[in-house]
Amino acid sequence: MSTRGFGQQYYEFRYQNNVKISDGTNILNNPWAGGLNSAVFSKIHLNQDDIEDLFVFDRTQNKVSTYLAQQINGQWSWQYQPEYEAFFPDSLSDWVVLRDFNQDGRKDLFTKSNLGIRVYENVTPVNGPLRFALKEDFVRFNNGVNLQVSGDDLPAITDMDNDGDLDILCFDFYSGHTIQLYKNMRVEDNLSPDSLRFKLEDAWWGKLTKCEDACGSFMFNSACRTTGTKHSVPVTILALDLDNDQDKDVLIGGDPCSELVQITNQGTPTKAVMSSSGVKKTFPDNTTPANFRQFLAAYYEDVTFDNVPDLLVSPYLPANMDGINTNQSIWLYRNTAAANASPAFEFLQNNFLQNFVLDLGEDSAPAFADVDADGDLDMLVGNYATMKGDNMVSSISLYTNIGSATAPEFRLETDDYANLSTLGLQGIKPRFADLNNDGRLDLTFSILNSSTGSNKYILNQAAAEQPFRFNVSAVQSLDIGENTGDVAVFYDLDNDGDQDAIVAASFLISDTSGPLLFYRNTGTAAQPVFTLENEKFGGIEFQEEANRNLYPLIADLNNDNSPELLTVDNRGVIRIYANFMADLSANFTETPALFANSISNSAVRSRLGTHVALAAADLNGDKQPEIIAGNTGGGLFYLTQQLRTGTGISEEEKARLNIAVFPNPANQEVTVTGPEKMQVALFSSDGKQVRRNTVPNKEHRIKLVGLAPGLYYVRVHTATGKTAGYKLLVNP
């Protein structure tokens, strides 16, 4: 989480979540929190108060989302707080669960690695902020053998034998048909609390065998009666005490089954005994049972603020291959029992965290234009597809701006703008451009399932300054792009009065090509002809994992009449290339795009998830467009941005310098002290130096009289050559 060096410019982004969005009478209270599809749940203290907060890892996005437990007007609720996401390791994939393995009251992190299970220890200081350190690159058992768990499986990491440490229950990595219990030997071997020593305690836990001949099919004390080769299939386990007899029962989800199976442990905490009489193929059976088109996973966490764990169920999928309705993919069952009783689950809702957020399923892609010709910008959002009848089809949702040009408020008008769903397309990503030079914005969009090209358009048939009008039967294809899924953005790049195009290529088109293709318009403004001129635009290299699904955007971010080129890759990292139109054949230089983090006082790379799509729109009238981002989750993020000058080094290095800046905020004078002699300078938020003490001293007093109120940056340069930056708020 390092900041940039002094004098280096970067674009600073900040999350915002207060612009209203409504759907009918429902006003969304977390409108810009992004969507969720395949959610893995845990709880953790994010802000070090007395109430645990919510951690969500979405498998389709490989993205962390963090929610604070907040009490508003006497009511507890979950409020999206993305700044905590940066404190978690950035290499998480497949699954993540938070458990306290060393009993220090801080949840540690378990996740999948190529070698099995990776563990990060929670080493957060008493007053924060949150911090993790790698504990084990892979968990070992017996004589140092790595404990392998498939990335498609979800193990149970819990205290199975009630001895106070965490054990691991998972299906056999190689066959996937029997459950194995790995016992934590910390108590038995009298080891230190932070030890992670495991023993394969039971290679056939409960004498249970999962069969492939039917969903919910299990054998006990014998192998399955099947022929042919046995194949390992993905499976999830939740271990919990369902009958209050002090041992762990299990809820199992498995591909391709759509329901949870309950299997009751009829043995003891140290010796599981299971039989066919303990199997229930529908769970919960006293209320609406969990059921998806794809296999699912269950989680046991208190999310209703009554100190009793509830049941959460979500599809456990890395990609939606079976048409799951992913904007209703988190089912919440309230536990109505007392804390010390057998749980009693009651179905509460099928869209936990999703009912108060804009969530259009998957692959949301925003665009902005004054669609209704009332003088402000409206918002359109495409998506991958939703179920209409028995078909998965894409559409565009229109949210009209019922606020103003400087104070927007969006309301859902239709979920099928221009009736595009009738085309049976998938993966619509809309944009606007005047393709025929008639002074009216036309609708352009890319898609994923067309044999006639990925980029389409419909000409705007409305009169000038009238609400847009598009005839779905008049859709046309653009001869641009080389691969399915290529995304085009249009702009007059060579300043000759017509629209050229940049295309993000989803695959290499030659051995020397890059992720961006430049098409010059060799036709006219009214009848464009796009000719490929540069197959490695900007000299940007193609990186297979990162640049697939690259998304380009052109916008004048700082109102200097020189637009920037933005790209966002498949890891959710935004990159910005300023002044790129000065030489279209040059290799572009990146200007960093960093997200301000007020908790750590640092600026960090973005983590927006996968399949990110960007749009730019000046929604508050400050001449600096906001950036709206969609992603695989189906929701949106609202980002403000401003060009900054870098202000320091990493937080770890600053901590070692032991510099104090006080008072902060200040109004008349600020004092800067440290153990070394140093020089001190003060910079305004736009990078201008406003004060400077050049004589090295251990203490500096800087007069602030005459400075405008606002945010400033204190730069410290020590006699030993170390440099650091600190934020200072100057009050009136």
Q: Encode pLDDT of 585-628 as tens digits.
A: 999 999 889 898 878 777 888 899 999 999 999 999 999 999 99
Q: Which two tokens stand for residue 665?
A: 């905020």
Q: What is the pLDDT of residue 601?
A: 75
- Report the candidate in 178, 113, 181 with the shortest Cα–Cα distance to residue 150: 113
- Report the candidate in 363, 273, 264, 252 with the shortest Cα–Cα distance to residue 316: 252
Query: Residues in the chain, how many?
Result: 732
- Count of CB atoms situated within 10 Å of the CB of 477: 14
- Count of CB atoms situated within 10 Å of the CB of 363: 29
Judge whether 22 and 280 are in contact, CB under 8 Å: no
In 59-166 the beta strands, taken as DSSP E runs, fall at 63-72, 75-80, 96-99, 108-113, 116-122, 132-136, 140-141, 145-146, 156-158
Q: What is the pLDDT of residue 686?
A: 59
Q: What is the pLDDT of residue 702?
A: 94
Q: What is the pLDDT of residue 330?
A: 97
CA distances from 598 to 54, 81, 299, 638, 726 (A): 20, 11, 31, 17, 12
- Report the candidate in 601, 541, 605 with the shortest Cα–Cα distance to residue 571: 605
Q: What is the pLDDT of residue 65?
A: 97
Ranges under pLDDT 50 in the chain:
1-7, 647-650
In 267-328 the beta strands, taken as DSSP E runs, fall at 279-280, 296-301, 310-315
The rounded distance, in Å, linking the Cα atoms of 272 and 286 is 25
- Report the candidate in 599, 449, 450, 563 with the shortest Cα–Cα distance to residue 130: 599
CA 311 remoteness from chain centre: 23
Domains of the chain: 36-349 (2.115.10), 365-645 (2.115.10), 655-730 (2.60.40.1220)
Q: Which two tokens stand for residue 585?
A: 């054949």
